[in-house]
């Protein structure tokens, strides 16, 4: 029996990056996974599509389907959980991973960028949680995981990069700080119903295509600041299969605390402990 046998998961932002890795890891543990992003096809110069993720999971013996919704649009996201449940049944595991960042100084972040970050990074996770909760509560079984970021906190000095770079992430970090607070509140409301809500952030940079574009230079100069995507996928699996309540967890610390080894995304190989070296993440994901 695998950890997610008989369970249905919805993972947003799963066309590439961390969301794709979490989707693959859950599928390898037996979950039927609905992957979601704003579009099915290719996206500018970025590689990876929802359909490819579905093909990859199915080729590995798993079950997967795709649903699109632009999470910045409240109407498009209004029935995402319902559409996802039409594939394999009610959602047991919701992973709110999709997010977007606009980098500008906090003194000058335009209203349209603030609105978009709050819609995708905060309002959408809240809406999807509210859509998923009725069936989770009636089954008395469910997990909601919100993917957060260490940018929710003001970076410690001395800064790893320039002071300006530290300031540019403030508005995005504010959306993640709000997500963390919402996570704690919801977690303590619904734990009594058998629904476990938590947040998870990477300890370091996960070299996704997006991260490589914006902080690739920091990663190149500080290899200790790069985290293999498998660490996040493993930590996510821990939080959607166990009874954690309202944690704002950090990937490596969580795995270290629960003494959980990190597996490859197909679940077949143990790669090491929570502190496996960054060279596993050398490839942009
Ligand atoms: N990578 C890191 O080092 C790092 C560090 C801290 C926190 N995080 C967090 O980890 C999560 C994943 O990050 P990542 O680096 O893997 O991101 P990514 O590579 O940029 O992928 C983002 C995913 O979200 C989807 N998405 C973006 N905007 C959307 C929208 N409006 N509607 C629906 N889907 C949307 C994207 O698909 P489409 O563009 O096709 O819609 C894509 O699948 C995010 O919550 C991020 O804040 C990452």
Atom of ligand 1 nearest to the CA of 37: 34
Q: Is the peptide bond before 158 cis (omega within 30 degrees of 0)?
A: yes
Secondary-structure percent of the chain, ordered helix, strand, coil, rounded to 5:
50, 15, 35
| Residues with catalytic roles | 172
For residue 261, the enclosing domain spans: 8-280
> Is the CB of 68 within 6 Å of ligand 1?
no
The share of the chain scoring above pLDDT 70, in percent, equals 98
Pocket lining: 210 vs ligand 1, CB cutoff 6 Å: yes
Question: How remote is the CA of residue 15 from the centroid of ligand 1, in Å?
Answer: 9
Within-domain flag for 1: no
CATH for 151: 3.40.50.720
Query: What are the φ/ψ torsions at residue 46 (nearest 5 degrees)?
Result: -75, 140
Residue 83: inside a domain, yes or no? yes
Q: Using most ligand atoms within 8 A of CB, pick from 33, 34, 37, 115 the residue to mutate for ligand 1.
A: 37
141: in domain: yes
The structural domain count of the chain equals 1
* CA terminus-to-terminus distance, the chain: 29
Which pLDDT tens digit goes with each residue over 85-115? 999 999 999 999 999 999 999 999 999 999 9
**In this structure, which residue's CA is closest to atom 47 in ligand 1?**
99
Residue 112 inside a domain? The answer is yes
In this structure, is residue 285 part of a structural domain? no
87 assigned to some structural domain: yes
Task: Say yes or no: CB of residue 199 within 6 Å of ligand 1.
Answer: no
- Position 281 scores a pLDDT of 59
Q: Does residue 57 lie in a domain region? A: yes
pLDDT at residue 184, as a whole number? 98
Handedness of CA 149, 108, 156, 215 (dihedral sign): positive
Interatomic CA distance for residues 83 and 67, integer angstroms: 7
How far from the centroid of its chain's Cα atoms is residue 173's Cα? 15
Residue 221 has pLDDT above 90, yes or no: no
φ/ψ of residue 3, rounded to 5: -60, -30
Cβ 211 under 6 angstroms from ligand 1: yes
Report the nearest atom of ligand 1 relative to the CA of 147.
Answer: 45
SS3 214: helix
Q: Is the CB of 205 under 6 A from ligand 1?
A: yes
Closest to 127 in 3D by CA, of 78, 85, 179: 78
Q: Residues 267, 269, 275, 281: is their CA dihedral positive or negative?
A: negative
Q: Flag whether pLDDT at 282 surpasses 60.
A: no
**pLDDT tens track for 223-238:** 888 999 999 999 999 9
Q: Which region, left, alpha or beta, applies to residue 40 given φ > 0 means left and ψ of -120 to 50 means alpha?
A: alpha
Decide if 3 is inside a domain.
no
* 30-58: pLDDT as tens digits: 999 999 999 988 777 788 899 999 999 99
């Amino acid at each position: 029996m695998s950890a997610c046998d008989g369970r249905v998961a919805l993972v947003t932002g799963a066309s590439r990056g961390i969301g794709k890795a979490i989707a693959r890891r859950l599928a390898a543990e037996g979950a039927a996974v609905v992957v979601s992003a704003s579009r099915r096809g290719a996206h500018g110069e970025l590689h990876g599509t929802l359909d490819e993720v579905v093909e990859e999971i199915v080729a590995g013996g798993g079950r997967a389907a795709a649903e699109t919704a632009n999470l910045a649009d409240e109407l498009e996201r209004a029935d995402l959980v319902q559409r996802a449940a039409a594939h394999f049944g009610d959602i047991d595991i919701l992973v709110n991973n999709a997010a977007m960042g606009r980098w500008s100084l906090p003194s000058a972040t335009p209203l349209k960028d603030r609105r978009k970050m709050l819609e995708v990074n905060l309002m959408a996770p809240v809406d999807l949680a509210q859509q998923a909760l009725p069936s989770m509560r009636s089954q008395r079984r469910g997990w909601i995981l919100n993917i957060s970021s260490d940018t929710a906190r003001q970076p410690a000095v001395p800064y790893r990069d320039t002071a300006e770079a530290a300031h540019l992430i403030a508005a995005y970090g504010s959306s993640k700080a709000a997500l963390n607070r919402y996570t704690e509140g919801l977690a303590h409301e619904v734990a009594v119903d058998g629904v476990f809500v938590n947040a998870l952030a990477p300890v370091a940079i996960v070299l996704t295509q997006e991260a490589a574009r914006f902080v690739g230079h920091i990663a190149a100069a500080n290899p200790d600041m790069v985290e293999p995507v498998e660490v996040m996928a493993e930590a996510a699996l821990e939080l959607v299969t166990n009874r954690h309540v309202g944690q704002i967890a950090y990937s490596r610390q969580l795995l270290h605390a629960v003494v959980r080894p990190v597996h490859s995304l197909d679940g077949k190989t143990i790669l090491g402990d929570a502190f496996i070296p960054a060279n596993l993440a050398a490839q942009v994901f």
